[in-house]
Amino acid sequence: MRFSKKTMAAMLAAAMIVSAVSACGSSSGSTGTTAAATTTAAAAGSSDSGAAMSDSDRIISAAQAGKVGNWGLGNEYEIFALLTKYGQENKFLSQAFDMDGFDDDSITLASAMTYNELGLVKNSYEGGYGYGDTVGIIDMNNEGVAMLEDNLFTTKAFAEANPNTVKAFVSASMKGWKYACENPEEAAQIVFEAGSSVSSDHQAYMASEVKKLCETDTNGNKVTDYGKMDENAMQQTLDLAKQYIKLDDSTAAEKLKSLTLDDIRSTAYWTDASAGKFDAPEKKDVSIQLKWLPQAQFMGYFVAKAKGYYDEVGLNVTIVSGGGDIGETTAVNNGTVDFGVTWVSNLISANAGGMDLLEIAQVYQRSGLVLVYKK
């Protein structure tokens, strides 16, 4: 079956939206807005004149033309921080779950994940738009507004009651991530055979890009300790979350302001897991819920299962796809599953709203969000 560009892109983009919806509260509701349209085509960053523009000029002119796109629903916080940096209003054009708006020029700066929509924009495989090197990107990491994404979490209560289970799961999972990053083509094939939600070509592309997110920090430095929690990157994520997440419930909003890193994460489990300091797991049959369907975004867990790493530490692991009726933060909080994968901002929002979740490993070391434009 051959999917259209719109269908393929929509399936992929929904991965982020599902996780955002699962968080408690709502964003500051500024989608679908258009700024004064007096800017010329050149100032708006059109392909005819964009090559001579600096990134700062491109951001300002696109913002003033109302042509910065984002999906919203929790994915917009880095965009808000970027617009604030350049003195622009925190408004964006509501972007559909495909890249057609970028393709038809209704969006000048379109949001894209490096491992997902950017691949569709650049490549010509199934579902791709085939722009190749004729596009450029504005990277949230380089702009200093990066927020950390995919992590591994459980509840504080589960971790306290089952410390060896948590450490064993972290140990085997990070072993899976290490192998996946060292062998991305094999990892992509393992995910594809597990019930891939995308084409094999796109899985391979995703694996190569996810590897970069796991092995490079927000400052461009190489990371060799898979799952480590960089204190500065974590704090920046929390600070930006406090500034840009808007919660309707006043109690949740007040709690958000008071949250510290100790309220959302513990490094102890990862530290002991990395050193092999754990005994037999208290609970052997455990489950983890992803944010979306099987794809290389989550390749470490599929590799750990396929290679028998979970078996080695005495765990029988069930991997549950995301995208269902219950989001990953809710599923973990209510005990439907034991572990979950979510963005740090989602966990922050969920805890502000009354959940008691605990990050135990940070898989992605940098943000995968970029704004893509035509050169």
Can you say whether residue 87 is alpha, beta or left, with left for phi > 0 and alpha for psi between -120 and 50 degrees?
left
pLDDT digits (tens, 9 = 90+) for 47-66: 444 457 999 999 999 999 99
Q: Is the pLDDT of residue 28 over 70?
A: no
339-342 vs 369-374, strand pairing mode = unpaired
In whole numbers, what is the pLDDT of the chain averaged over residues?
A: 90
In the chain, what are the domain boundaries? 5-147, 151-364
Calpha distance 48→45 (Å, rounded) = 8
Rounded mean pLDDT of 12-18?
48
Angle at 104 between CA 58 and CA 210, to 5 degrees: 70
Going by the DSSP 8-state scheme, the letter that residue 96 receives in this structure is P
Share of the chain above pLDDT 70, in %: 86
Taking alpha carbons only, the member of 253, 236, 268, 256 closest to residue 359 is 268
pLDDT of residue 155: 98
Calpha distance 7→177 (Å, rounded) = 29
Calpha distance 204→207 (Å, rounded) = 5
Calpha distance 217→221 (Å, rounded) = 5
Can you say whether residue 96 is alpha, beta or left, with left for phi > 0 and alpha for psi between -120 and 50 degrees?
beta
Q: Is the pLDDT of residue 23 over 90?
A: no
Cβ atoms of residues 362 and 214 within 8 Å:
no
pLDDT digits (tens, 9 = 90+) for 177-205: 999 999 999 999 999 999 988 899 999 99
Cβ atoms of residues 349 and 25 within 8 Å:
yes
Calpha distance 343→177 (Å, rounded) = 17
Going by the DSSP 8-state scheme, the letter that residue 219 receives in this structure is T
Between the alpha carbon of residue 5 and those of residues 127, 139, 206, 320, the distances in Å are 4, 24, 17, 27
Calpha distance 52→45 (Å, rounded) = 9
More confident position, 41 or 322 = 322
**Which of 44-53, 266-275, 295-304 shows the lowest per-residue confidence on average (mean pLDDT)?**
44-53
pLDDT of residue 47: 44
| Dihedral pair phi/psi, residue 61, rounded to 5° | -70, -40
Rounded mean pLDDT of 228-239?
98
* DSSP state letters, 257-282: HH--GGGTB-SHHHHHHHHT---S-S
Max Cα–Cα distance, the chain, nearest Å: 67
pLDDT digits (tens, 9 = 90+) for 56-99: 999 999 999 999 999 998 889 999 999 999 999 999 999 998 99
pLDDT of residue 12: 53
Under the banding of pLDDT at 50, 70 and 90, the label for residue 258 is very high
- 90's CB contacts (< 8 A; 6+ apart) are 28, 30, 80, 83, 84, 244
Rounded mean pLDDT of 305-316?
98
Q: Is the pLDDT of residue 236 over 50?
A: yes
Cβ atoms of residues 341 and 83 within 8 Å:
no
- 362's CB contacts (< 8 A; 6+ apart) are 148, 151, 152, 227, 228, 229, 230, 233, 234, 265, 344
**Which of 5-14, 184-193, 269-278, 326-335 shows the lowest per-residue confidence on average (mean pLDDT)?**
5-14
Under the banding of pLDDT at 50, 70 and 90, the label for residue 327 is very high
Strand partners, 334: none
pLDDT digits (tens, 9 = 90+) for 123-161: 999 999 999 999 999 999 999 999 999 999 999 999 999
Taking alpha carbons only, the member of 51, 59, 117, 49 closest to residue 84 is 59
pLDDT digits (tens, 9 = 90+) for 89-125: 999 999 998 999 999 999 999 999 999 999 999 999 9
Strand, helix or coil for residue 211: helix
What's the pTM? 0.89
pLDDT of residue 51: 52
Strand, helix or coil for residue 31: coil
| Dihedral pair phi/psi, residue 285, rounded to 5° | -95, 110
* Six-digit token string for 351: 């805890």
